[in-house]
């Protein structure tokens, strides 16, 4: 339902800022989408039978439908309509943690900080081990520079049995650690994320950025080359990172080739402007 449409990272040239929302949306909304279809995390049931759609009451079905509509509206940026649908879902089923989880994301998007935090906490009060909410609340805190708290929630999410979003949570944790200046920890988290999802370009780029900042240029080159080898992933920021790595390795010809490709394909970008001005440390 929610798909990442860019391979730029939350690190990149933004110096761990929040200016790039694509990764934030990918991280939060992909996990939310999985929770709505029941694919990302599961919890053991005390019942001997397996609950199926036929076991749900009409009230539960209406709440679920409202929540699915809300998630669709949220994905399309129709925030007010999404909030209306979430409210309707909670009227039908006020103990629905997924609805509070989504409500938290919506309020965060609206910069309603108090309401967003209340929503995430309410979701966790109902379902303390819901990995999707743990992840989303962690990312919410990370974006507000509450790094220690955020990292704790990511750790909790990755310990939930059968949680298939561990790679995303480890990536988010690594980004958060990097923003906090904890580059060693960030490398460990991002390396673990890469083990889970080696084909995820966002993980590879973030790991390359961290390695570059640590001065491990050969290793950084390995990861960024994997990304830029796929033409649609060779964005302005990814080419810029690769060029800076080659520059630091003393490969002036390689750096020049990447710089010319950057100027040719993304001539109006900030990265191209930095290349033209020779500002390679940005």
Q: Who's near 38: CB < 8 A, 6+ residues apart?
A: none
pLDDT for 48? 55
DSSP states of 12-55 as a string? GGGSS-S--HHHHHHHHHHHHHHHHHT-S-----SSSSPP-GGG
With a threshold of 0.75, does the pTM exceed it?
A: yes
Percentage, residues of the chain above pLDDT 70: 80
41-45, 97-101, 120-124: least confident range: 41-45
pLDDT for 37? 32
**Chain centroid, CA 212 distance in Å:** 21
pLDDT for 17? 38
pLDDT, tens digit, for every residue of 12-21?
Answer: 333 443 334 4
Residue 6 has pLDDT above 60, yes or no: no
Confidence of residue 140 (pLDDT cuts 50, 70, 90): very high
């Amino acid at each position: 339902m929610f798909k990442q449409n860019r391979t730029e990272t939350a690190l990149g040239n933004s110096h761990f800022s929040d200016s790039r929302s694509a990764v934030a949306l990918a991280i939060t909304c992909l996990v939310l989408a999985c929770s709505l279809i029941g694919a990302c995390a599961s919890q053991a049931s005390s019942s001997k039978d397996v609950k199926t759609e036929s076991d749900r009451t009409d009230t539960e079905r209406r709440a679920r439908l409202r929540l699915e509509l809300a998630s669709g509206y949220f994905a399309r940026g129709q925030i007010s309509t999404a909030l209306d649908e979430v409210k309707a879902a909670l009227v039908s089923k006020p103990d629905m943690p997924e609805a509070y989880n989504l409500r938290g994301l919506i309020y965060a998007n609206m910069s309603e900080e108090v309401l967003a935090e209340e929503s995430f906490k309410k979701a966790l009060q109902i379902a303390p081990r819901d990995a999707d909410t743990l992840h989303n609340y962690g990312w919410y805190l990370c974006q507000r520079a509450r790094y220690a708290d955020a990292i704790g929630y990511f750790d909790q999410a990755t310990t939930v049995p059968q949680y298939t979003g561990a790679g995303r949570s480890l990536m988010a944790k690594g980004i958060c650690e990097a923003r906090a200046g904890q580059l060693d920890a960030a490398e460990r988290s991002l390396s673990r994320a890469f083990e889970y999802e080696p084909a995820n370009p966002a993980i590879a780029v973030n790991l390359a950025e961290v390695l570059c900042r640590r001065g491990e240029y050969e290793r950084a080159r390995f990861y960024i080359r994997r990304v830029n080898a796929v033409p649609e992933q060779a964005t302005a920021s990814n080419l810029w990172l690769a060029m800076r790595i080659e520059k630091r390795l003393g490969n002036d010809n390689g750096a020049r080739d990447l710089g010319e490709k950057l100027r040719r394909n993304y001539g109006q970008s900030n990265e191209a402007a930095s290349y033209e001005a020779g500002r390679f440390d940005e």
